[in-house]
Chain A
C-alpha cells in the first residue's frame, strides 16, 4: 500500500458541487512527502472547500482524494489520524489549560496516556510555552494560542500538517518564530506541509505553489518557475546618459525603453542573462543595473486578476468556515 514514494496528498479530478455551483471544479494535483506545498487563491476560489475535503470535513461530489495513502471518502478515520490541522480561527478551549488542551487532543487521537507527557514536553518547549502550560488558555496572547495550536497539531505525529493561514493577524516577530519552528520541523522530520497564506514571503518559502481560481487550478509549479512563466523581468539601467542608452537599447535589441528617475527601464525575457549581452553593446558608462524578477504578486495578478493581499481572509472567509462546520447537520 502506501510506500515511501507514495504522494502525501493525491487529488484526482475532484469536484464539489453545492447545488448548481461547483466550488471545486475538476481539480487534480499531488503533494510529495516532505514538501511544503502552497495553496493560493482569492476568496471563494475553492481553497477552503478543497482543504475541507482533504480533512474529511466535506465529502467530494465526484473524483478521488487521498491523504497519506488513504481515501478521504472511504477511510475517514485513517485520514484523520494522519493529519494535523492548524486553522486561522482558534480551536482551543479557553477554559482549559495549555496542557489540558494537549491532553484532550491526545485522547481524541488515541495517543496512549503513557506517551502523552513525553510527547507534549518537547513540543511545548519548541513553541516556548513550557512555563505557561498550566495556565488557562484564555490568558494567552494571540501568538501564544497559535503556537499552542501548532504544538497540538503535531502531538499525534501527523504525516501531513495542514496550515490554513497559520500566521494571519500575528505580529512579524511571532510570525518569524513560527516559521523557524516550521523550518526546523521540515529539516528534521520531513513532515509534509499544506499551506494557505496571503503573505508573499510565506508563499515564497514553498517548494511548490498551486493557484486556484473559480474552482480550478490555474497554475502549479515552483515559485521560480511560476514567476518565469509570466515572462519578462524588469531591468533598470542607470547610466551617464540615459537618453543615449535608451536609443542604443532600442536600436540594438529592439526593446521598448522607458526613461524613469532611476534610469532606462525595459522588460525583457531572462533579464539576468540579458545583462552581459547588454554590456557588450552598450558603450556608455553604467552606474547601476537592477533586474527585478516578476514577484508572486505579479504571478497571482496574472492568473487570478487579484492581488494576493486583496484576497486577505476577511469576514467572507470566516463565514464560509462556519458554514462548512454547520454543514454537519444540514446533511
Chain B
C-alpha cells in the first residue's frame, strides 16, 4: 500500500487556482461553524434526550404538583402548568445555548479550536457562526418541547407559533453570545459546574420562567428586571398565553417590542464583546 501511495500523483499540492476572497471566505466560515453545530447535534441524539428530559420533568411533575397549591390567581389567570409551559421552553433554550457556547472550552482543550484559530478567517466570523449554531441548536431543542403544549392546555395558532419561534431564536442567539463571553473567561471544563450554579440556575430562577414576577419583594423585583433573560421569556409567554398579565417595571407595562429590543440589544452587546475577547493575539 505504501508503494501505491508513493506512486500517486499529488495534484493537491499544486497551487490553488482561484483562492476565494476574504469576504466569501468569511461568509462560508460562518456557515461552516453554524453547520458544524447542527451536524454534531444530529450525531449525538442522547444530547437531545437529556436536553428535553429536565424541562419535561419540571412541566409534568413540578407543574402538576404545584398547580393545586398555586391556583389560577397566583399564576396570573392561567393554571400553573399553562404558566410554566413558556417557562420550560425558555429554560431549555437557556440551558442549551449556554452548553453550546461552553463547548468552545471543550474545543479549546481538545483541539478543533486551534484548527479554527490558525485559519485565515476573521475571528468575528467564527464567533458569529458559533452564536448562530448554538442558537439554532437551542431552538431545535426548544421546538421538540412544543409537542407537550396540548397536554397542558396551551393552544397554538400559526401566528403564535411563528411569533414564538422568532422570540426563541432571539433569546437563543442572545444567550449563546452571552455563553461565548462566559466561555472565553473560563479556564477549564471543570469550571462548568460553577457556571451552572452561578450563572444558569440564577438566570432561570430570576427570570419569571418558574414564578410570576408581579408582587415580589422589592429586592427580588429589581434583580429579576435586571436579568436580561426576563424579557425574552416575558415575550414568549405573552405570545403563547395572550390572557396573561404582561411584565411591568415599577408600574410601566413593558411592550412586546421593548422585550424584543432589550433581548436584541443584550445579544448584540454580548456578541461584540465576544468578538473582542477572541480577536486578541497575545
Report which A residues bind B (CB closer than 8 A).
55-59, 76-78, 80-81, 83, 85, 87, 89-93, 95-96, 100, 104-105, 107-112, 115, 118-123, 125-128, 136, 154-157, 177, 180-181, 184-185, 188-189, 191, 322, 325-331
Interface SS of chain B: helix, strand, loop or mixed?
A: helix
| B16–A329 touching, CB < 8 Å | no
Of B16, B120, B278, which one neighbours A157 at CB under 8 angstroms? B16
10 contacts between A and B (CB under 8 A): A56-B118, A58-B282, A76-B120, A89-B110, A91-B114, A95-B44, A122-B8, A123-B12, A156-B16, A180-B6
Interface residues of B in 107-137 (CB under 8 A from A): 108-121
B225 CB to nearest chain A CB (Å): 30
Write the chain A residue with the least CB distance to B108.
A325
Q: How far is the CA of A81 from the CA of B109 in the complex (A)?
A: 24
Q: How far is the CA of A91 from the CA of B117 in the complex (A)?
A: 11
Known contacts A108-B119, A325-B113; 19 further A-B pairs (Cβ under 8 A): A56-B118, A87-B111, A89-B114, A91-B112, A95-B39, A95-B43, A95-B44, A107-B25, A107-B32, A110-B19, A110-B120, A112-B17, A122-B10, A125-B8, A127-B5, A154-B12, A322-B109, A325-B114, A328-B281
Which of B10, B20, B29, B40 counts the most chain A CB atoms within 10 A? B10
**Given A80-B120, A109-B120, A329-B280, does the pair A122, B109 have CB atoms closer than 8 Å?**
no
| A330–B282 touching, CB < 8 Å | yes
**Given A80-B120, A109-B119, does the pair A57, B12 have CB atoms closer than 8 Å?**
no
Of B11, B39, B187, which one neighbours A326 at CB under 8 angstroms? B187
A116 CB to nearest chain B CB (Å): 10
Report which B residues bind A (CB closer than 8 A).
1-2, 5-6, 8-22, 24-25, 28-29, 31-32, 36, 39-40, 43-44, 108-121, 184-185, 187, 277-278, 280-282
Q: How far is the CA of A89 from the CA of B111 in the complex (A)?
A: 7
| A90–B118 touching, CB < 8 Å | no
| A157–B280 touching, CB < 8 Å | no
| B6–A104 touching, CB < 8 Å | no
| A328–B116 touching, CB < 8 Å | no
Q: How far is the CA of A118 from the CA of B9 in the complex (A)?
A: 12
| A328–B111 touching, CB < 8 Å | no
Interface SS of chain A: helix, strand, loop or mixed?
A: helix
Which residues of B lie under 8 Å from residue A58 when comparing CB positions? Answer: 281-282
Q: How far is the CA of A86 from the CA of B121 in the complex (A)?
A: 19
B115 CB to nearest chain A CB (Å): 4
Q: How far is the CA of A83 from the CA of B114 in the complex (A)?
A: 14
A142 CB to nearest chain B CB (Å): 13
| A126–B10 touching, CB < 8 Å | yes
Q: How far is the CA of A90 from the CA of B109 in the complex (A)?
A: 10
B13 CB to nearest chain A CB (Å): 5
B71 CB to nearest chain A CB (Å): 47
**Given A93-B112, A95-B40, A128-B5, does the pair A108, B12 have CB atoms closer than 8 Å?**
no
| A57–B120 touching, CB < 8 Å | no
Write the chain A residue with the least CB distance to B35.
A104
Write the chain B residue with the least CB distance to A151.
B12
| B282–A59 touching, CB < 8 Å | yes
| A128–B282 touching, CB < 8 Å | no
A328 CB to nearest chain B CB (Å): 6
| A77–B1 touching, CB < 8 Å | no
Write the chain B residue with the least CB distance to A100.
B39
**Given A100-B39, A104-B32, A181-B5, does the pair A119, B11 have CB atoms closer than 8 Å?**
yes
A124 CB to nearest chain B CB (Å): 9
Which residues of B lie under 8 Å from residue A120 when comparing CB positions? Answer: 12
Write the chain A residue with the least CB distance to B27.
A107
